[in-house]
Amino acid sequence: MSAPMTATEKILAAHAGLDHVTPGQFVNAQVDLLLANDATAGKVIAQFQHIGADRVFDPERIVLVFDHYTPSNNIASATVCRQVREFAREAGGIDVVEVGKGGIEHCVLPERGLVLPGDLIVGQDSHTCTYGGLGAFATAVGVTDTAATMALGEIWLMVPETIRFELEGQVDPWTVGKDLILHTIGRIGVDGALYKAMEFAGSAVSDLSIDSRLSLCNMGIEAGAKNAMIPPDSTTEEYLRDRAGREYDNVLSEPDARYAALHRWDVTGLRPQVAQPFLPSNVTSIDEVDPVAIDQAVVGSCTNGRLEDLAQAAEILREHTVAQGTRLIVIPGSQEVYLEATRLGYIEIFVKAGGAVSTPTCGPCFGGHMGILAEDEVAVSTTNRNFVGRMGHPRSRVYLSNAAVAAASAVAGYLCAPEEVLS
């Protein structure tokens, strides 16, 4: 009998037409969905034309999302979007997620039921690993690999070893998926899962909403992982009930599967976490961080631009306003989130509090537009990277946190815990 496999191994085997795979093995795997965005699709198309294929492998399995510089911030990005639209039409109707119809790729695809448990998803964006929150194998590749996959419908992959994280216990009420992943990266480092699959389980993980699970897996790449994975369960089923447009398979790790490492951590009472400049692994508890003065707070991105995050921010801002000398930027991750937040009154709360609310876009997350930092400015942000210059000037600084901490800090004018503002 062959050795029991992890969920990641099982999905790779199934998509490579094999009964069994082992870590280190190279496979050619069929992809269920391929994605690119406005920052990358133009270059993908150029490389695709280079290959000289007369057709894409399957227009219905490709999604192109406008989100990075969207709505277009200059002529160059507007031109890319036009090229992408033309290509998509000529290729036989590739789905283009347009301005006003979608939002950030990693928020939109799960909402639309395009990424499902057991799927193999490849994307030209490093945070493609987000979809592991629904139990898919999802990984990022570059422009050239994406172009080749667009032509072939398959991709070479090395089967990664899996590291399993069992997080047990009840966390603090303000703690969400973002805090669990920051805590994890803080413990294992930015290359702690290099080339590996991360699998998350335990009561602290199964307690998480889907918004939090997507957020947690989103930052797997920040530990160097190839993919991150949370086993699908009844919460997943519930989320997908009215979304999934096709059959899917809840692929779970077998009980005796082999792991490269197994971490069992007690996270009882874990408080919101903060990653200080300039690495996502530079993590401290909100209670231990210096109360640095902040110029800007950002709530949004593919990490924390979902409804749960806006709800956290609204709870803080309901009775408060943004501090003098500080600016708050709130960016719902998708039109669906935007609409729901409007219905629930969150948007009104943000505007009344003195926040700038934007249409869904990546915005300042990667220093694109909508809130670039000047020299020496400091931001607290719900995004995923605090690298040098990520949000603007190389001498600006970004602290990563969840939405409650970002909103509370906007009110206080300095980095602080939610309780400091609410009490």
Partner 1 sequence: MTGPSKAGVLRGKAWVFGDDIDTDRILPGAWLHLTDPAEIASHCLEGVDPDFAGSAKPGDFIVAGKNFGCGSSREPATFSIKALGIGAVIARSFARIFLRNAIGIGLPVIVAPGVADEVSPGDELEVDLTAGRVSNLTTGVVHQGQEFPEFMRRIVAEGGIIPYAQRRVTERAQKRLLDHSREDRT
Nearest to 310 by CA among 299, 321, 320: 299
Binding of partner 1 by 265 (CB under 8 A): no
Binding string, 340-369, against partner 1, x = CB under 8 A? Answer: --------------------------xxx-
Binding of partner 1 by 269 (CB under 8 A): no
Binding of partner 1 by 385 (CB under 8 A): yes
Nearest to 311 by CA among 171, 182, 420, 418: 418
Return the one option of ligand SF4, partner 1, none that residue 301 interacts with (CB less than 5 to 8 A, by type).
ligand SF4
Binding of partner 1 by 126 (CB under 8 A): yes
* Whole-number Å distance between alpha carbons of 88 and 369: 26
Angstrom distances, CA of residue 38 to CA of 41, 80, 115, 284? 5, 7, 20, 34
Segment interacting with partner 1, rule: CB under 8 A, options 38-46, 243-251, 303-311, 415-423: 38-46
Nearest to 117 by CA among 243, 21, 303: 243
Binding of partner 1 by 147 (CB under 8 A): yes
Q: Which is nearer to partner 1, 187 or 243 (CB)?
A: 187
Smallest distance from the beta carbon of 358 to ligand SF4, in angstroms? Answer: 12
Q: Who contacts 78 (Cβ-Cβ below 8 Å, separation ≥6)?
A: 72
Q: Which is nearer to partner 1, 192 or 202 (CB)?
A: 192
Return the one option of partner 1, ligand SF4, none that residue 152 interacts with (CB less than 5 to 8 A, by type).
partner 1
When binding is defined by CB under 8 A, the residue of 3, 17, 22, 50 that contacts partner 1 is: 50
Beta carbons of 310 and 83 less than 8 angstroms apart: no
Q: Which residues bind ligand SF4 (CB under 6 A)?
A: 67-68, 104, 106, 125, 127, 301-302, 362, 365-366, 383-384
Angle at 364 between CA 358 and CA 368, to 5 degrees: 110
Cα dihedral 321/322/328/332 (nearest 10):
-20
> What is the distance, to the nearest Å, from the Cα of residue 195 to the centroid of all Cα atoms in its chain?
18
Binding string, 218-257, against partner 1, x = CB under 8 A? Answer: ---xx-xxx-------------------------------
* Whole-number Å distance between alpha carbons of 138 and 372: 30
Q: Who contacts 34 (Cβ-Cβ below 8 Å, separation ≥6)?
A: 61, 62, 63, 121, 122, 123, 146, 149, 150
When binding is defined by CB under 8 A, the residue of 91, 99, 152, 244 that contacts partner 1 is: 152
Binding string, 193-212, against partner 1, x = CB under 8 A? Answer: -xx-----------------
Smallest distance from the beta carbon of 330 to ligand SF4, in angstroms? Answer: 14
Smallest distance from the beta carbon of 175 to ligand SF4, in angstroms? Answer: 21
* Token representation of residue 151: 């032509």
* Token representation of residue 355: 């926040």
Terminal Cα-to-Cα distance of the chain (whole angstroms): 60
Return the one option of partner 1, ligand SF4, none that residue 387 interacts with (CB less than 5 to 8 A, by type).
partner 1
Contact footprint for partner 1 (CB under 8 A): 26, 39-40, 43, 47, 50-54, 69, 74, 76-77, 80, 124-126, 140-145, 147-148, 151-152, 156, 158, 190-191, 194-195, 221-222, 224-226, 279, 366-368, 385, 387-390, 394
